[in-house]
């Protein structure tokens, strides 16, 4: 999908410190509406910190973040979610004791006028009808991510790969305009990675979601991303098309090691 030039996210000169540790230093970048944008970099480079600043979990000491043209730097994560920002986490954050379907319904909670968890008043008024509509939407997502066979399973009993897929389903359930994915393929086998890559591309191309993805698997990143940004020691050291990133000398030295043949590196898992 060709990115249009309208930025959906504008990150301007943000810096984040934890005591004496500078996790991010003057990082700026834009993500265009409809793009599939990846962030790579070695362990500890600041990738998750950056995603946490975008989603509102962390608050940068300097700089500004705009989402859909609106200043969100001081906004709570919930408020950003209401504006259309969804995310998954590096470490799974599912409700382990709940079914797959219920985990996905929790993801739709922001969109429901009558909170699905709100007990007593739940069956009165329009709540029952509203829940049916939301269940139908949840079932669409279940079909799309091919998890119908486990829809009633308790999330905590599933394999790691399936739990990652359910977590994606829950983030998708919010129907975000921008979805932030933190290492969606970590810990997966090759087949699971291929499936996940396909879902992410479909979300981007068919569902029209703008995607920002942190991922260590360089093969997948270079294969499916429209643009890639490289973080190193909290700084944005390169940004460009996948082939530009692969041939950038600084990137090769700082991130990919001293190998000369960038194509060979493309299939390696880095970091
Ligand atoms: N909550 C925190 N408190 C203190 N230091 C933190 C916190 N979160 C991140 N850091 C520090 O900020 C730096 C960047 O960490 P971050 O997790 O963002 O890197 P990363 O690129 O996502 O790494 P990885 O690939 O290992 O997930 C590291 O030095 C880390 O120790």
DSSP string, 134-193: HHHHHHHHHHHTT-GGGTTSBGGGS-HHHHHHHHHHHHHHT--SEEEEESTTTT--HHHH
Exposed (0-12), middle (13-18) or buried (19+): which is 221, by Cβ within 10 Å? buried
Residue 172 has what pLDDT? Answer: 92
182 Cα to the center of ligand 1, angstroms: 13
3-state helix, strand, coil in the chain (%, to 5): 40, 25, 35
- Is the pLDDT reported for residue 209 higher than 60? yes
Strand order in the sheet with 235-240: 85-87, 178-182, 210-214, 36-40, 227-232, 235-240
What is the spatial distance between Cα 215 and Cα 40, in angstroms, rounded to a whole number?
6
pLDDT in tens, 146-171: 999 999 999 999 988 898 999 899 89
Please state the separation of Cα 160 from the chain's center in Å: 17
How many A from CA of 23 to the centre of ligand 1? 6
Cβ partners under 8 Å of residue 102, min gap 6: 95
Given the CA of residue 50, which atom of ligand 1 is nearest to it? Answer: 18
Instruction: Answer yes or no: is pLDDT of 116 > 80.
Output: no
Q: Which of 96-110, 116-130, 166-180, 234-248 is least confident? A: 116-130
Rounded CA-CA distance 64/203 in Å is 28
CA distance 15 to 33: 24
Nearest alpha carbon, ligand 1 atom 12: 23
Q: Determine which helix (DSSP H) or strand (DSSP E) holds 270, and give its type and residue range.
A: none
From-to residues of CATH 3.40.50.300 in the chain: 1-84+178-189+199-271
Q: What is the pLDDT of residue 124?
A: 53
105: confidence class by pLDDT, cuts 50, 70, 90: confident
Tell me the C-alpha to C-alpha distance, in Å, between residue 19 and each of 47, 61, 64, 135, 237: 18, 11, 20, 45, 23
In this prediction, residues 234-263 reach a mean pLDDT of 77
Go through 234-268 and write b for each residue having 16 or more CB atoms within 10 A of its CB, e for each that does not. Answer: bbbbbbeebeebbebeebbebbbeeeeebeebbee
Ligand 1 binding residues, C-beta < 6 A? 18, 21, 23, 41, 43-49, 90
| DSSP calls for 104-134 | HHHHTGGG-SS-TT-GGGGGSTTHHHHHHHH
Q: Is the pLDDT of residue 218 over 80?
A: yes
Q: What is the pLDDT of residue 259?
A: 52
Q: Given this model, what pLDDT does residue 134 score?
A: 80
Pocket test for ligand 1, best of 17, 41, 42, 47 (most atoms within 8 A of CB): 47
Mean confidence (pLDDT) of the chain: 85
Q: What is the CATH number of domain 1-84+178-189+199-271?
A: 3.40.50.300
Nearest CA to ligand 1 atom 14: 46
Higher pLDDT, 79 or 258: 79
Which region among 111-120, 202-211, 253-262 has the lowest average model confidence (pLDDT)?
111-120
Does 234 have pLDDT greater than 50? Answer: yes
- pLDDT score, position 268: 41
* Residue 224 DSSP label: H
Can you read off the two tokens belonging to residue 77?
């994560």
Ligand 1 centroid to 30 CA: how many Å?
Answer: 22
Confidence of residue 255 (pLDDT cuts 50, 70, 90): low
Q: How far is residue 145 from each of residues 58, 193, 252, measured CA to CA in Å?
A: 30, 13, 35
Give residue 91's pLDDT.
64
**Tokens 């810096």 appear where?**
15
């Amino acid at each position: 999908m060709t990115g249009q030039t309208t930025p959906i996210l504008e990150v301007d000169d943000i810096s984040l410190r934890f005591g004496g540790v500078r996790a991010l230093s003057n990082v700026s970048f834009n993500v265009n509406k409809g793009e599939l944008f990846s962030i790579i970099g070695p362990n500890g480079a600041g990738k998750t910190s950056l995603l946490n600043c975008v989603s509102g979990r962390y608050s940068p000491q300097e700089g500004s973040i705009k989402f859909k043209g609106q200043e969100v730097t001081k906004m709570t994560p919930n408020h950003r979610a209401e504006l259309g920002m969804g995310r998954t986490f590096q470490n799974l954050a599912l409700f382990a004791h709940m079914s797959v379907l219920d985990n996905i319904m929790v993801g739709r909670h922001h969109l429901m006028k009558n909170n699905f968890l709100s007990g007593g008043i739940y069956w009165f008024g329009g709540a029952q009808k509203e829940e049916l509509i939301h269940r139908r939407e949840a079932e669409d997502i279940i079909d799309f991510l091919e998890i119908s066979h486990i829809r009633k399973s308790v999330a905590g009993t599933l394999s790691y790969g399936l739990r990652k897929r359910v977590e994606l389903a829950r983030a998708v359930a919010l129907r975000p305009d921008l979805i932030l994915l933190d290492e969606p393929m970590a810990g997966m086998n090759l087949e699971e990675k291929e499936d996940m890559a396909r879902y992410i591309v479909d979300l981007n191309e068919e569902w029209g979601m703008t995607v920002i993805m942190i991922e260590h698997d360089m093969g997948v990143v270079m294969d499916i991303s429209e643009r890639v940004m490289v973080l190193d020691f909290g700084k944005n050291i390169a940004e460009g098309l996948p082939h530009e990133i692969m041939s950038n000398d600084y990137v090769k030295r700082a991130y990919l090691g001293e190998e000369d043949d960038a194509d060979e590196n493309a299939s390696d898992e880095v970091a």
